[in-house]
Amino acid sequence: MVTEAQTTRIEPRPASGANRVLDVRDLCVSYYTPRGPVRAVNGVSFFLRAGERLGLVGESGSGKTTTALSLMRLLQAPAVIEGGKVLLDGRDLLSLSEEEMRRARFADIALIPQGAMNSLNPMMKVGEQLRDTMRAHMDGESSARRDVRIQEALESVGLRPDIMQAYPHELSGGMKQRVCIAMGILLSPKVIIADEPTSALDVVVQRQVMETLGRVQSDLGASVILVGHDMGLMAQFVDRVGVMYGGKLVEVGPVRDIFKDPLHPYTQLLIGSLPTLQSKEIFKGIPGLTPSLLTPPPGCMFHPRCPKVMAHCSVVIPPLEEIKPDRWVACHLYNGSQP
């Protein structure tokens, strides 16, 4: 059984190293629906430093999962990646062949998908599911060596090897999520993307899962993109945070700076809706409707809800700009483009 302390504090860590392991540039993704194209990711650019933890937050439908799936090239029809680059150590994942990309998945960049623990096959023992992943990506290795690696991965997420004989329904939610983390780290990727890894888990188990993710990340020396709604969890886990709104990144910066001094009016409302920095409150939304991505508002996507809206906000799209070191914001209040 799982034997970790139940109340480990997850310390925020400074970003280490300035080198960019992942560089996403002007990523655009649309879903071609019968009612027209939905631009779910609209010119998203950000980078991830080696060993860094970056959070992606935003309301439901803001494009977080679409961004995560695009980085892995796991989107399915009707989604189309319309443009951009995803540079992993300088190599553009979007221009790889299908076979090259298949090899990069798990080995270079891995995803723990949204709802991962519910996507485990209920009819297959855990060990078989892990072996399937290993077979697909380490075809040159003997099955004995693959099993050794599986056991190492299970051990590093705090699970005993005999869990390989269990079916998913025999495990708790936290254990299933650990199995999914083990699957993600089997091939020691440089980048781990975790899409809402703790939703549907109770608070104590959430902390255990996040602590596990943090520990395996440190052991591997990997970088993490954590997708989520829970600002309290972000404050405790990530180094920097990117705030998404209507398929765009509207603010990126060190998590402490963003909590202390949010710049974008949307981020200000987001932070203002939380009682305290240490709160475990889940962001429940701010007044007004999320924008339709089928017929998006012109200019700044946020202008219909923005308390600081100016005349030209409904006309001119504000670009994401670095307005002071490591602080990026897309808002006319800061970019000096007021007429």
Ligand X SMILES: Nc1ncnc2c1ncn2[C@@H]1O[C@H](COP(=O)(O)OP(=O)(O)OP(=O)(O)O)[C@@H](O)[C@H]1O
The residues that touch ligand SF4, with contacts defined as CB under 6 A, are 264-265, 300, 302-303, 306, 308-310, 313, 318, 331-333
Q: Which residues contact 52 (CB under 8 A, 6 or more apart)?
A: 15, 16, 17, 223, 224, 239, 240
Q: Is the peptide bond before 78 cis (omega within 30 degrees of 0)?
A: yes
Residues 176/207, Cβ–Cβ less than 8 Å: no
- The alpha carbon dihedral of 154, 160, 162, 167 has a sign of negative
Q: Does residue 151 bind Mg ion (CB under 5 A)?
A: no
SS3 label, residue 88 = strand
- Count other C-beta atoms under 10 Å from residue 268's C-beta: 17
Residues 239/12, Cβ–Cβ less than 8 Å: yes
Shortest Cβ 281–ligand SF4 spacing (Å)? 23
Q: How far apart are CA 136 and CA 183, in angstroms?
A: 12
CB nearer to ligand X: give 282 or 315.
Answer: 282
CB nearer to ligand X: give 157 or 180.
Answer: 180
Shortest Cβ 216–Mg ion spacing (Å)? 22
CB nearer to ligand SF4: give 293 or 331.
Answer: 331
**Structure token pair of residue 164:** 């390989």
| Burial readout 17-51 (b: 16 or more C-beta within 10 A, e: otherwise) | eeebbbbbbebbbbbeeeeeebbbbbbbbbbbbbb
Task: Return the residue of 42, 65, 198, 206 that touches ligand X, per CB under 6 A.
Answer: 65
Q: Does residue 61 bind ligand X (CB under 6 A)?
A: yes
The one segment of 6-14, 31-39, 140-148, 267-275 that binds ligand X by CB under 6 A = 31-39
Shortest Cβ 69–Mg ion spacing (Å)? 9
Does an H or E element contain 207, and which?
helix 203-220
Q: Does residue 33 bind ligand X (CB under 6 A)?
A: yes
CB nearer to ligand SF4: give 180 or 320.
Answer: 320
Q: Interface residues for ligand X in 74-113 (CB under 6 A)?
A: 78
Give the dihedral of Cα atoms 281, 282, 288, 294; nearest 10 deg. Answer: 160
The one segment of 57-65, 162-170, 263-271, 311-319 that binds ligand X by CB under 6 A = 57-65
Q: Which residues contact 253 (CB under 8 A, 6 or more apart)?
A: 240, 241, 263, 326, 327, 328, 329
The one segment of 50-58, 59-67, 129-137, 241-249 that binds Mg ion by CB under 5 A = 59-67
Residues 329/302, Cβ–Cβ less than 8 Å: no
Task: Return the residue of 20, 21, 22, 31 that touches ligand X, per CB under 6 A.
Answer: 31
Q: Does residue 217 bind ligand X (CB under 6 A)?
A: no
What does the per-residue mask of binding to Mg ion show for 14-53, with x meaning CB under 5 A? ----------------------------------------
CB nearer to ligand X: give 158 or 291.
Answer: 291
> Which residues of the chain form contacts with Mg ion (CB under 5 A)?
64-65, 114
> Which residues of the chain form contacts with ligand X (CB under 6 A)?
31, 33, 38, 40, 58, 60-66, 78, 114, 293
